[in-house]
Structure 1
Amino acid sequence: MFRVPVATYRLQFNAQFTFADARRIVPYLHDLGITDIYASPILRARKGSAHGYDTVDAAQLNPELGTEDDFMELCGELDRHDMGLVLDIVPNHMAASHENAWWMSVLENGLQSRFVHYFDIDWRGDKLLLPILGRPYGETLESHEIRLGFDADGFFFTYYDKRLPLAPQSYLLILRKCVDAVPSEGVGVELRDLAQQDAVVANSKFLKETLSRIYEQSEEFRAALDAAIARINEDVDALDRLLDAQWYRVAYWRIASETINYRRFFDITDLVGVRVENPEVFEARNRRILDLVDEQKVTGLRIDHIDGLHDPAGYLTRLQHRLGDRMYTVVEKILGYDETLPSSFPVAGTTGYDFLDTVNRVFVDPDGLARLNGTLPPFGDVVYEKKKQVIDQLFSGEMRALGTHLAALAVADRNARDFAPSELLAALVEVTACMPVYRTYDVSKCDRSIIEKTIGEARHRASSRVDARLFDFLQRVLTSPSDFVMRWQQFTPRVMAKGVEDTAFYNYSRLLSLNEVGGDPGRISTDPIAEFHARNERIARDWPRTMNATSTHDTKRSEDVRARINVVSEIAEEWQRELRKWRRMNGSFDDDLLIYQSLIGIGLDAKERVIAYAEKAAREAKTHTSWLAPNGEYESALKDFVARIHDHEPFRKAFARFHRHIAFHGFLNSLAQVVLKIFSPGVPDFYQGTELWDYSLVDPDNRRPVDYALRAQSLERNAIPATLLRNWKEGRIKLFVTARSLAIRARHADAPYRAVDTHTPNAIAFTRGDDLLVIVPRLTTQITRAPHLPIGDVWRDHAIDAGGRWRNVLTDEVVADDALALRNLLASFPVGVFEKA
C-alpha cells in the first residue's frame, strides 16, 4: 500500500525559493501539521523560469533550485520529520527553447533528427513554423535583427535572446564562400573536403568539431570565416537564402494561430507538445522522475494537464505499471458540475478544483446571487461566444487542420461526401464551442452521452446556419474510435481553458468568487448544503484520497479573497446601493464591477497590484484590448480610473465603512472554509502562505514571496482563542485553527462521513465516524453584524442530534447533552471541531 498524505503544502520553486529554502521551513511545516511537501516542477527549466513548467531537460534537476546535494539534503530533512514529497510533473509539453537539446536537434536536423518523433509536429509542409518574430519576416530581415554567428557548437542564427541552429546541409553555403582564402595544404585540404562532400554533413557532430578545430588552428580560415559571416549579415538576400535552407521557417508571431504546425500548450508558442504516447518518449520524458521514485525520494506525483495528452488513460496506466502501483498519484483534471473522474484513470483523484467549487458555494446565498443578475446575458451564451472567439483568434490553424481531417473522413461516407469542407468545418466549430466539459476520452457510454448532449446544443445554437445533416455525420464520427476523434479530444480542452477560464470569466462579473477554475458562475445552487454533503459522500465512497484545494497557483483569486466576495451575495441590495453611490463619486467605467469586487477582496492598500491586475483582466477579456492587439488608449484610461479611485478620499472613506462589514464576515467564511477542507473526505492541500490571511489575485500576484519567519513565529497551538479572535485581522486565528485541526485529522481521515442536520440554513455540520463532529457557520450576515461573532445566543434554540460528551479541540471546552444546542457548541468560538471526550 502506498503512502497517502495527511495534508499537503504547495511550494513554488524558482531561483528565489530553492531546495535550501524549502529545507529550512520543513520543521515549521511539520509543526503546522503538514505531512507532504507538494512541489512545483523541479526538472531543469528555462533560465529564470518562475514556475518550472517550461522544462528543457528531462534528465536533470533545475540547477537554479540548487545542486543534487541540496536536493538530497531537502529529502533528508523531510525523512527526518517523516514527511513526503509529492512532485508535479509535466508530461504534456516542454519549452521550445535553445536550452532544450531535443528541440534544437529537431530544428537542426528536421526529419533526420533522432528526436523528431518526440514532438507533436505536422511535417506535411516540410518545414516547422517558428512564429517568433516581433514583426513581419521581411521587415525583420531588412532591419538586420536576425544575425548569423559561429562558435564551438557550429553555425547559428540569433534573434535577440533566441538562438537557432543551422541545418548541416546549409553549412556548405557558408563554407564555399571562404575556402579559397585558405592555403591549399594542411587544414586547407581538410576544409575543402568538408565543403565539397555533401555526405559528411550527415555526421553533424564530426562536422562541428572539425570546423571548430580548424577555426582555432588556422588564422587564415578564422579571418575568412569571420569575413564571410559579416558579408552574409550585411547581405539580406544571402541571409534570406540561408534561412530558406533550414528545416524551419521563422515567421511573425501573429500568424501562429493560423499556420502553426506543432501542438502547443494552449496558445503558447514557446511550449511544444510532447508525444508521451510513444513508449520511447514516455521513458525519456519520465527518466529522472522514475529514478527519484526508485531512490524513494519522491512519495507522490501530480500529473499536470492530463487532458492535453493523446491518451490520458493509457499514459496513466503505463506510469502506474512503471511505478509498480506504489505511488500516490493525482491528476490536474478540471471537472464540470456533475462530471466525475473517469474510472479508467488509475489514480487517487484530482488536484481538488471540484472541492473548491463545492465548498465555495456553501458560502454563497443563492437568493442573493439571483438578485445580482442585472443586465448580464446568460453565462452559457457568454461561454459559447467566447469559445468561438478563441477558436477564431487563437486556434484557427488547428481547427482548420481538424476540418481537413474531417473532410477526408466525409469522402468515405455516402451521406456526407457532398458537403463542402467549409460546411464541415463550420459544424465542427459549433460542436467544439458547445462542449460542456473539457474533453471526452473514449467512446464509452458516458462519452456518447456527452457527445449527444453537445450535438443537441449545437443544433439548437446553429439553427438554420448549419445543415442538420452535418450534425448527424458528426455524431457518427465522434462516437466511433478513430485518430481524428483522439485529435479532437486533445484539442477541446484548449478551447475550454482559453474560452472559459481565460476569456468568459473576465466578461461575466456577477459574483467574481464563482469565476474559478472548474466553476460555472452562471449556475445557482438550489441547495448548497445538500450539494456539499452529496459530494463528500460520493468522494468518501469513490475517491477518498483525492486532493481538496481552496487556493492553488492557478486559481483566479485566493481563498480569502473569495471568502470576502461571497459576502456580497448575502447583502445584494446593500451592495447595489453602494455601487450606485461609488459610481456617482467616481464615474462609470466598462466593467467596473470587476474592479470594485476585486477591491472587496484585497482592499484599498494595493494600488499597483490592482492596476496590474486590471490591465491583465482587460486583455484576457479580449473585448476592448487583448494580448494580441493591445489598445494603449483604453488601457491607459483603465489604469487612470483604478489609480483615481484609490486616491479619491471621499470614496476611500465610503468604501472603508462598507468594507469593514464585508471583511469581518469574510474572515468568518475563511475560518469555516479551512475547517471544512481539513475534515472533508480527501487530502487537504494548502497553497504556500495561505495559512495566514492571503489576499491575492491571479498570477503573478499569487506568486509573491512568502514570509515564513513570520508564520513560524505566529504558530502557537496553545494560544488563547479569545485573544486571537479579538485580533483576527492579524491572521494568527487562521493559523491556529489550521494547526489545531491538522493535529487531529489523521485520526479521522478514513472514518465514515455522515451529514448532520443543523435545522438552520446558517450552519453546516457532519461527523467522521463516531468520534469527530464538525460544525461551522455560513451566511453570517443573516444572524449577526460586525464586530459581533456568531456565538452563543445568536443560535437561539437550534440543536443537532449527536448525543454524548464532546470536547472542542479549538477551545478545549466540553459539551454534553443528548441534543446538542448550537449555542453551547459554538458558545465562545465561531467554528467547532469536536472529538468524543
Structure 2
Amino acid sequence: MPRTPLSTYRLQIHAGFDFRAATAMADYLRDLGITHMYSSPYLQAQAGSMHGYDVVDHHTVNQELGGREEHERLCNRLKELGLGQILDIVPNHMSISGKNKIWLDVLENGPSSRFASFFDIDWNSAEQRLRDKVMLPVLGDQYGRVLSKGELKVGRQGSAFAVQYFENSYPLEPRSTAHLLTRAATIAASDTLNFLAESFRRLPSPDSTDRLSQHARHRDKTVLRGMLDRLCSEEEGVCKAIDETLAEVNGSTDALDDLLNQQNYRLAFWRTSDQELGYRRFFDVNNLVGLRQEREHVFEETHELIFHWLQEGVLDGVRVDHPDGLRDPSQYFERLRKHAPKAYVVAEKILEPGEFLRTTWPVEGTTGYDFMNVCNALLVHPEGIAELESIYRDFTKMPTDFPQIAYEKKSAIERETLASDVNRLANLFVEICENNRDFRDFTRSEIRRAIRAVAACFGVYRTYVVAASDGPDEITDEDRQQIAEAVAEAKIRKPDIDTSLYDFMADILSLRNRGPLESEFIARFQQFTSPVMAKGIEDTAFYTYNRHVGMNEVGGNPSRNGLALADFHSYQETMQATHPITMTALSTHDTKRSDDVRARLAVLAEIPDRFRLAIRRWSRMNHSFRTGRFPDANSEYFLYQTLIGAWPITVERAQEYMTKAMREAKLETAWTAQNADFEDAMHNFIASILQHEPFITDLEAFVARINRAGRINSLSQTLIKYTAPGMPDLYQGSELWDHSLVDPDNRRPVDYDLRRWLLGEIKNLSPSEFTENLESRFEDGSPKLWTIYQALRLRNERPHAFGAEAAYVPCEVAGPRVDNVVAFTRGGEVLSLTQRFPYKTAGAWPVTTLVVPPGRWTNRLTGITVAGGRVRVGNLLDRFPVALLVREP
C-alpha cells in the first residue's frame, strides 16, 4: 500500500550524483525527518543528461546512474530506513537522440512504422515536399552547403545503413538501399545479393499504414537483413562491394542527394525549425518530440515500468511533468489513477495568480509554484515595490507596463521560435474556414495573425476544453471566461483584423461551433498556449522587466504589488478545502532564484530610497569599466540585484549566469543570435567590478545592512511551508542558506558532509541551548536547518495536525504591528507565528498581541512555554525570529 508522504527531499540524480551517491545519503534524509526521497527522472535518458527529462527508453533504468543493480540497492536502502520514494515522470515528450530506438524506427519506416502513432507528427503537411516526411532541423548550415562540404556520409554497420552527420546517425529507408545493393551485386557478381536488392525494393511502401502492410514490412525487412548479414559473413567480396558502392555514393554529391531525397525524413538547417517543423515539441526544444498519451496503447507502453514500481511498492507516488503539454490532461490523470488508485500524484501545473488547480483532476495537487509565489508576494512591501517601479524606470528608461511587455514578448515568440506551431494551427483553421462559406475568404495570413493575437492574450497557460465524440463535452465557466477575455483583448490590441474572425475562433474554442476539424483545432490550440506563455513570459519577459527580479518567478506576476494578509489567509483556506496535501515548495530545479535569494531581495521593497542611492552610486563608480554602451542600463540594473541576492558570488558564476540571463532576455544577445561584443563587454564589466575594491566594499556594506532581514524572511517562509496546508518539499541543499540562481547554478554539488555535521550537532542541543548561542550560528545556516528539523519532527509526531482534516484558522492579532504578523493554527494544536517586513520592524513589537487558544503551549524552537490567552508577539519572538507552538496534552 503506497504511503502518503509527510515531507519530500528533491534530489537531482545524474552521472555526477548517481544512485550510489543517493544511497549513501539516504540515512541523512531519515535523520533530518524526511519521509520520502523525491527524485528527478531516472528512466534511460539521452547520454550525458543532467536532468533526466530527455527520456529515450521507458523500459530501462538509466545506465549512467548505475542501472538496475544500483537502483535496486537504492530502493532497498530506502526501505531499510523506512523512507518512501516519489519519482518525477515525463509523459509529454521523448528525446530523439540516436539511442531512441522507437524514434529511429519512425525515421526508417515513416508512417508505416509500428511506432508512428506514438509521436505527435503531422504526416499530412500543407507543404507537399514535407508530406509523409519528418523534417529534422539538425544541420549547421543550408543543406546544399553541408552536402557539398562532404559532412553527410552514408555508412553501414552490418546490414544496417545510415546517414552520418558528425556524431549523429539516421537510418536509411530499407527500400532505398535496393539501388545500393544492386550496384554492389554487379561489382561482386552475386546473384544472391541481386535477389536481396530486388526483395528490398518490393517491401511495402512507407505510406502503407494498414496493419497487414506494417506487419509484412517489418517482418520482411528483418528477414532480409538477416540474410544480408549471413551473406556478408560468408562472402567477403560482397562486403567489399557494398563498401565500394557506399564510397561511390559518398563521392558523388548528386548520388548522395538522390539517396537522401528517398528517406522518410528531410535533413535541414537548424533555423528552419522556427517555420516548418512538422512535429510537436516540448516548448521550442527540437530534440524533444511530443508523445500522443491520449492514445491508450501509448500510455500503457510508456508507463509499464512506472506502474510496476507503484504496484510493487518501490514508488509511493509520482510527480507528472508538464501535463499542460498533453492533449487531455484530465483524461491522462484519470487513467493514471486507475492504475495507481492510492498513489500520491502531483501535477507540475503552473498557475497564475488567482488561478487554482482544477478540483476535478484526480490528483493531490501541484508541485508548489503557486504556494511559492504566494509566499513571495506576502513578504514584499506593497508601497515599497510600487516605488521601485519609478526607480527602475528612471535608471533604465525601460517601459514598465508589464501586460504590454508580456504581450509583445509572447507575440515575438509566436512570430519567431514558435512560428511552425502557428503555421500548423493556421493550416487547420484554413480547412475549417473552407468548409464554412461565411469565413472561406479569410486568408492564411489573416488567420495566422488572429491565432497569434488570441494566444498572446491568454492570461493563463491554457484552458481544458474537450469536445468529446463519445461522451459529454468538458468545458467550465472558467474556460469560457478565459477564452472570452483573450478574444476581447485581441480585438483591442489587433483591431485591424475582422472581428468576425475573432468571434468565429471564440465560437470554436468555446464549443459553440462543432465538427471534427474544430475539435482538433481546440486540442492543438490549447497545447500551443502553454509554450507561448512559458517562452514569452518566463524565458523572456522575466529577464527584460526587472523592476524587482525576486518577483520574476515561475507562475508569478512581477508587476504584482505584494499580497495582503487577508488574501494570504484566504488562499491557505482554499487550499485546505480543495488540495490539503498539495506539494508546497520554495525552491525547485526550475526556479529562477533560490528561496534565500528571493528572501533577501524582498527587503529591497522595504528600503527603496536606499536602493535608489546605491545603484546610482554603483553605476557612477563602475562607469569606467563599460565598453562603449555595454552593458546597457537594464542589464546593469539586473546585475546589481543579482549581486545583492546571490552575494557572495564568484566572477565565474556571475558571468555564466548573466550570459544565460541576457540571452533569455533577447535584447542585446540571444541563444540563436549571440552578440559577442555585448557578451564580452558584460564579462569584462563583471570581472572588473568584482575586483574593484571601492565597489566591493560598498556592495558588502549594503548586503550586510539587509542580510539579517533577508534571513528572517527566509525563516518565515520556511516555517510557513512546513505548517501551512500541503506537503512540504525541500530542494537539495536548501536546508542551509543557499544563494543559488537558475540552472545550472542551482545544480551545483551539495556539501552533504557539512549538512550531516551541522545536523548531528543541533540534534544534541535543547531549544534553549540552541537559541543561547544563536548569533554565533546565524550565518552558517543552522537557524534554517533548526527550523526545518523541528518542523519535520513535529509533522512526524502529529501528522493529524497537518492532514486533510486539520483546520487552518488565522489567529487574532492586535496592535500597531498587526500587518507584520502572520499567524495561524493547524488542527487546533499547532500554532505557526512568522513575521514580514522585518527591516521596518527592526525587532520592535510595541503592544502587538496574539491570541493563543486555550491550553499550555511550548515553542519547539526556543523551549519557552506560554498559557493560552492574549500574548505579546515580542515575547514569542525575542529569542528566535519565528515561533512554532505546540499545545501540550
User: Quick check: 2:136–2:267 contact (8 Å CA) kept in 1?
Assistant: yes
Q: Which residue of 1 aligns with 2:351?
A: 335
Q: Which residue of 1 aligns with 2:175?
A: 169
User: 1:51-77: per-residue Cα shift (whole Å, max 9, x none)?
Assistant: 110000011111111132321221122
Distance 1:428 1:82, change over 3 A: same
Q: Which residue of 2 aligns with 1:213?
A: 230
Q: Which residue of 2 aligns with 1:353?
A: 369
Structure 1 residue 411 and structure 2 residue 443: aligned?
A: no
Q: Which residue of 1 aligns with 2:802?
A: 749
Structure 1 residue 535 and structure 2 residue 571: aligned?
A: yes
User: Quick check: 2:823–2:831 contact (8 Å CA) kept in 1?
Assistant: yes
Structure 1 residue 199 and structure 2 residue 221: aligned?
A: no
Distance in 1, Cα, partners of 2:753 & 2:221: 53
Residue 817 of structure 1: how far off its partner (Å): 5.3
User: Quick check: 1:600–1:659 contact (8 Å CA) kept in 2?
Assistant: yes
Q: Which residue of 2 aligns with 1:479?
A: 510
User: Quick check: 1:9–1:38 contact (8 Å CA) kept in 2?
Assistant: yes
User: 1:131-155: per-residue Cα shift (whole Å, max 9, x none)?
Assistant: 0001111111111111211113601
Residue 699 of structure 1: how far off its partner (Å): 0.6
User: Quick check: 1:149–1:156 contact (8 Å CA) kept in 2?
Assistant: yes
Structure 1 residue 129 and structure 2 residue 135: aligned?
A: yes
Q: Which residue of 2 aligns with 1:787?
A: none
Q: Which residue of 2 aligns with 1:138?
A: 144
Residue pairs, 1:32-111, within 5 angstroms: 32-111=32-111
Q: Which runs of 4+ in 1 moved over 4 A?
A: none
Residue pairs, 1:482-493, within 5 angstroms: 482-493=519-530
Residue pairs, 1:663-812, within 5 angstroms: 663-715=707-759, 716-719=762-765, 720-746=770-796, 747=798, 748-750=801-803, 751-759=806-814, 760-784=818-842, 790=843, 794-803=844-853, 804-812=855-863
Structure 1 residue 571 and structure 2 residue 577: aligned?
A: no
Distance in 1, Cα, partners of 2:339 & 2:492: 46
Residue 414 of structure 1: how far off its partner (Å): 4.2
Residue 726 of structure 1: how far off its partner (Å): 2.5
Residue 604 of structure 1: how far off its partner (Å): 4.2
Q: 2:188 aligns with which of 164, 169, 182?
A: 182
Q: 2:462 aligns with which of 411, 414, 439?
A: 439
Distance in 2, Cα, partners of 1:757 & 1:606: 46
Residue 2 of structure 1: how far off its partner (Å): 5.1
Q: Which residue of 2 aligns with 1:304?
A: 321
User: Quick check: 1:351–1:547 contact (8 Å CA) kept in 2?
Assistant: yes
User: Quick check: 1:506–1:621 contact (8 Å CA) kept in 2?
Assistant: yes
Q: 2:486 aligns with which of 454, 459, 470?
A: 454
In structure 2, list runs of 5 or more residues that go unmatched: 125-130, 205-216, 394-398, 466-474
Structure 1 residue 813 and structure 2 residue 864: aligned?
A: yes
User: Quick check: 1:757–1:764 contact (8 Å CA) kept in 2?
Assistant: no
Residue 211 of structure 1: how far off its partner (Å): 2.4
With the length of structure 1 as denominator, give the TM-score of the two structures. 0.96
Secondary structure of 1:633's match?
Answer: helix
Letter paired with 2:702: F
Structure 1 residue 425 and structure 2 residue 425: aligned?
A: no
Q: Which residue of 1 aligns with 2:874?
A: 823
Q: Which residue of 2 aligns with 1:151?
A: 157
User: 1:597-627: per-residue Cα shift (whole Å, max 9, x none)?
Assistant: 1101111432111101111111111111111
User: Quick check: 2:850–2:870 contact (8 Å CA) kept in 1?
Assistant: yes
Distance in 1, Cα, partners of 2:282 & 2:276: 16
Identity %: 41
Q: Which residue of 1 aligns with 2:265?
A: 248
Residue 528 of structure 1: how far off its partner (Å): 2.9
User: Quick check: 2:92–2:293 contact (8 Å CA) kept in 1?
Assistant: yes
In structure 1, list runs of 5 or more residues that go unmatched: 785-789
Letter paired with 2:489: E
Distance 1:153 1:36, change over 3 A: farther
Letter paired with 1:647: Q
Secondary structure of 2:389's match?
Answer: coil
Structure 1 residue 619 and structure 2 residue 625: aligned?
A: no
Distance in 2, Cα, partners of 1:208 & 1:614: 52
Structure 1 residue 551 and structure 2 residue 606: aligned?
A: no
Letter paired with 1:830: P
User: Quick check: 2:851–2:868 contact (8 Å CA) kept in 1?
Assistant: no
Q: 2:423 aligns with which of 388, 392, 400?
A: 400
Distance in 1, Cα, partners of 2:348 & 2:224: 45
User: Quick check: 1:758–1:798 contact (8 Å CA) kept in 2?
Assistant: yes
Distance 1:153 1:499, change over 3 A: farther
Distance in 1, Cα, partners of 2:492 & 2:159: 59
Distance in 2, Cα, partners of 1:181 & 1:295: 58
Distance in 1, Cα, partners of 2:444 & 2:46: 41
Secondary structure of 1:734's match?
Answer: helix
Distance in 1, Cα, partners of 2:574 & 2:831: 19
Distance 1:264 1:27, change over 3 A: same
User: Quick check: 1:151–1:212 contact (8 Å CA) kept in 2?
Assistant: no
Secondary structure of 2:107's match?
Answer: helix
**Corresponding pairs, count:** 822
Greater alpha carbon shift after TM alignment, 237-246 vs 65-74:
65-74
Distance in 2, Cα, partners of 1:53 & 1:322: 23
Q: 2:539 aligns with which of 489, 502, 508?
A: 502
Q: 1:367 aligns with which of 375, 383, 397?
A: 383
Distance in 1, Cα, partners of 2:827 & 2:548: 36
Distance in 1, Cα, partners of 2:758 & 2:863: 20
Distance in 1, Cα, partners of 2:662 & 2:820: 36
Secondary structure of 2:729's match?
Answer: strand
Secondary structure of 1:819's match?
Answer: strand
Distance 1:207 1:663, change over 3 A: farther
User: 1:12-57: per-residue Cα shift (whole Å, max 9, x none)?
Assistant: 1111111121111111101111101111111100111111100000
Residue 173 of structure 1: how far off its partner (Å): 2.1
Residue 721 of structure 1: how far off its partner (Å): 2.4
Letter paired with 2:167: D
Distance in 2, Cα, partners of 1:330 & 1:817: 38
Letter paired with 1:196: E
Greater alpha carbon shift after TM alignment, 678-687 vs 773-782:
773-782
Letter paired with 2:458: M
Secondary structure of 1:811's match?
Answer: coil
Structure 1 residue 561 and structure 2 residue 564: aligned?
A: no
With the length of structure 2 as denominator, give the TM-score of the two structures. 0.91
Structure 1 residue 291 and structure 2 residue 313: aligned?
A: no
Letter paired with 1:133: L
Distance in 1, Cα, partners of 2:648 & 2:621: 16
Distance in 1, Cα, partners of 2:356 & 2:868: 40
Distance in 1, Cα, partners of 2:788 & 2:707: 19
Greater alpha carbon shift after TM alignment, 721-730 vs 106-115:
721-730
User: Quick check: 2:175–2:202 contact (8 Å CA) kept in 1?
Assistant: no
Distance in 1, Cα, partners of 2:438 & 2:257: 48
Q: Which residue of 1 aligns with 2:468?
A: none
Secondary structure of 1:34's match?
Answer: coil
Secondary structure of 2:813's match?
Answer: coil
Could you say what the CA RMSD is over the residues aligned between the two structures, in angstroms? 1.5
